[in-house]
Amino acid sequence: MNKQSTLTKKVNTMQIKIIRCKDYDEMSKKAAQKIISSIEKKPNIVLGLATGSTPIGLYKELIQDHKLHGTSYKHVYTVNLDEYVGLAPEDKNSYFSFMKKQLFDKIDINLTHTNIPNGIAPDLEEESKRYNQLIESLGGVDLQILGIGQNGHIGFNEPGTPFTSTTHTIQLTESTRTANASHFNSLDEVPTYAITMGVQNIMSSKEILLLASGSSKAKALQQLINGEVTEELPASVLRLHDNVTIIADEEALKYI
């Protein structure tokens, strides 16, 4: 990492809104309310979606609301943040399978409106370019949902990723592979590389909602909110965005 690309705290940072929830359920409900009201305002909204454990409760809430109140996703477009390299869409551990199981199969979204990077593209550089163009052709992301890694990653932008990055292939850190191993039979099965939207793609979203739950995220949130803006903590870049809301539970906010 060259020194020039490492931003330090000598930047003007924006006010991040923080919604403090008592637990995971409340976090999921609050996030769902926000997304539902955004869809009501703009039925053809472009949603940026995340995978992982954090948004599962949110997706459950959206499914329940769809069943009870009929919120429709017919005109909604989605772009997911990332996919594991080497996993075909039909692999049970792919993020495509995750999204189908956790959300897409249970709402009225048009699957042709959903987008996830292709982890088995023969040319990953071409695939990255295609994904950047796709986001652009949709007019950019209106509302991006993010989780946060224990090391402060967003998407799979691991510490040290340039803030100027767009969609790219990245080697996952051992801590990220270990954190994600519970979804696989063993650590060995967790892919070593992923293709992810870059920090710049995420920052181009009009609005960002970051969700966090549990004490394992507390240190990363503390650094995000009170630490330096630095590429060593990718999520800290969010302090340079003017429309970010963090919805997190007490445990994740225990140092704030």
- The smaller minimum CB distance to ligand F6R, of residues 73 and 96, is found at 96
CA dist 141 and 104 (Å) reads: 18
Query: Closest separation between CB of residue 51 and ligand F6R, Å?
Result: 4
Closest to ligand F6R by CB, 27 or 229: 27
Contact residues: ligand F6R, CB under 6 A: 50-54, 81-82, 147-149, 153-156
Residue nearest to ligand F6R (CB): 147
Among residues 217, 195, 199, the alpha carbon closest in space to that of 208 is found at 199
Catalytic residue among 82, 127, 142, 231: 82
CB-hemisphere CA count at 13 Å for 115? 24
Catalytic-role residue among 151, 157, 180, 201:
151
Q: Which of 158, 168, 201, 231 is catalytic?
A: 158
- Active site annotation includes 183: no
CB contact set of 167 (below 8 Å; sequence gap of 6+):
117, 127, 128, 129, 131, 132, 195, 196, 197, 198, 201
Nearer to ligand F6R, 51 or 75 (CB): 51
Catalytic residue list contains 158: yes
The angle formed by the CA atoms of residues 125, 239 and 144, to the nearest 5 degrees, is: 50
Quick check: is 82 catalytic? yes
User: Known catalytic residue: 157?
Assistant: no
Residue 40 or 80 with smaller CB distance to ligand F6R: 80
Instruction: Please list the active-site residues.
Output: 82, 151, 153, 158
